[in-house]
Structure 1
Amino acid sequence: MPDAEPGLRERKRRATRRAIQQAALRIALEDGLGAVTVEGISRRADVSSRTFFNYFPSKEQAILGDDPRLPDDESLRTFVDGGPVGDVLADLGALLVHSARELVEERGLVAERQQVLRANPELFSRRMESMREFQGAIQAAVVRRLERDDPGFAADADALRRRAGLVSSVALAALRHAWWEWSASETGTDLVDELQRSFAELGVLVSRSLV
């Protein structure tokens, strides 16, 4: 069953978050990173500085957008406990779909952010660090799942690390594939739909290789 459409309050929250990010990116593109200030962003987004800090801890984070992260709720516990379908890659895909629902944003922001990152290597490094942290969180969740699926793994820490690292790397590749398909699409596809499609195609490839 698809998630319910967000209510008015949630739509306003997302619109404000989007306006703040867009303002930060436009200032960086037009005047350079050094010209970006919290006051300037707030003025351009038509919000108070206090409202800005309700959404982002710094001007850099407003430019970078939300860091990817795993949900800390029932969906994560379901994955660790062996669900929802019992296949680790498919279940990880479902978990990432749940996570991605909070990362959906306009394609225009993606293109502008890429321009700013290319012009400012220090910001690009911060984005790469956040992705490494995200992969680490995925790998930690997979370790817990594999230990649950096969307690024998707990006796071989190196094998467990290698298997969990492989699973997390493959999952992250599927996520990147979905992201680029979504950002390059001219037909208005949804990021969540693209992510579901990428993991479904990955599942088909894996099952064929095992035949």
Structure 2
Amino acid sequence: MSDAEPGLRERKRRATRLAIQQAALRIAIEEGLAAVTVDEISRRADVSPRTFFNYFPNKEGAILGDDPTLPDDDTLADFVAGGPTGDLLADLGALLVHSTRELIEERGLIEERQQVLRAAPELFSRRMESMKEFQVAIEGAIVARFAAAADGAPDASGEPPERRRRARLASLVALAALRHAWWEWSDAGSDTHLVDELERSFADLDALVSRSLV
């Protein structure tokens, strides 16, 4: 990974967040969703209910865990302005790498969450809706980038309806690469990091689209 390792405070924060999610999922698996309460999650995670609410708004949030979100700092502004490389797919990869660095990296957690979601269609629907919201946010960032590029090169991104169409396609391709990285990472069974797999997935995607396939 290119970024420095997190400090002690950050490692403790992530450990607490992981413990809360593990507790919520294991209660659901062992005793059913009806048995999942904030008090029971807190007891098993060895935190207070007040600490629980510092991390999640409700028990469903602890079960569903974290979805990626776009950064709200200079990283997003740089992307909209055409950075960091000027290549859309490469820059989307960098943006999603930044977005996924905050996600909990625990393969067992993924397996347990999938088990719970398979038995809870309402929670699965919520997860799909949150990913749809993420796709719309990516699409919006790409549209903004196209609009910024059009200021200097009118034919670079097409007319506004064409920009939206291309942005939607690019956002869906980016999410497919993210899903591919999740699959590869969860199946790897090694010490690889999710962001490393995401970087590899976008590199593979770039190799595929930059040459003719026979």
TM-score (norm: length of structure 2) = 0.94
- Paired residue type of 1:92: L
Q: Matches of residues 110-149 of structure 1 in structure 2 within 5 Å?
A: 110-149=110-149
CA deviations on 1:62-82 (whole Å, 9 max, x unpaired) are 000012211111110110011
Counterpart in 1 of 2:19? 19
- The residue number in structure 2 matching 1:85 is 85
What are the within-5 Å matches in structure 2 for residues 46-85 of structure 1?
46-85=46-85
After TM superposition, list the pairs within 5 Å mapping 1:86-105 onto structure 2.
Answer: 86-105=86-105
Per-residue deviation, residues 93-113 of structure 1 (Å, max 9, x unmatched): 001001110013210000000
8 Å CA contact 1:68–1:130 kept in 2: the answer is no
Moved more, 151-160 or 109-118: 151-160
The size of the alignment, in residue pairs, is: 210
**1:146 deviation in Å?**
1.0
Q: In the TM superposition, what are the counterparts of 1:157-168 in structure 2 within 5 Å?
A: 157-168=160-171
Alignment pair present for 1:43 and 2:49: no
Offset from partner CA, 1:12-58 (integer Å, 9 cap, x none): 00000000000000000001111100000000100000000000001
Q: CA RMSD in A?
A: 1.5
Identity %: 73
Q: Give the Cα separation in 2 of the matches to 1:101 and 1:12.
A: 16
Per the alignment, residue 189 of structure 1 pairs with 192
Moved more, 163-172 or 148-157: 148-157
Secondary structure at 1:127 match in 2: helix
Inter-partner Cα distance in structure 2 for 1:146 and 1:87: 12
Rounded to whole Å, the distance in 1 between the matches of 2:45 and 2:211 is: 50
Unaligned runs of 5+ in 2: none
- Quick one: distance in 2 between partners of 1:193 and 1:103? 13
Q: Is the 8 A contact 1:42 1:52 kept in 2?
A: yes
- Structure 1 stretches of 5 or more lacking a match? none
Q: 1:155 Cα shift? A: 7.3
Deviation at 1:147, TM superposition (A): 1.2
Query: Would the aligned equivalents of 1:104 and 1:191 in 2 still touch at CA under 8 Å?
Result: no
* Alignment partners' CA distance in 2, 1:2 and 1:185: 20
State the AA in 2 paired with 1:191: L
Is 1:203 aligned to residue 206 of structure 2?
Answer: yes
2:24 counterpart letter in structure 1: A
Task: Return the alpha-carbon distance in structure 1 between the equivalents of residues 130 and 159 of structure 2.
Answer: 29
**8 Å contact 2:18–2:104 — kept in the other structure?**
no
Match among 154, 178, 182 for residue 181 of structure 2: 178
In 1, the alpha carbon distance for the partners of 2:68 and 2:98 equals 11
In the TM superposition, residue 209 of structure 1 has moved relative to its aligned partner by 3.2
Opposite residue 167 of structure 2, the aligned amino acid is A
- Mean CA deviation greater in 31-40 or 156-165: 156-165
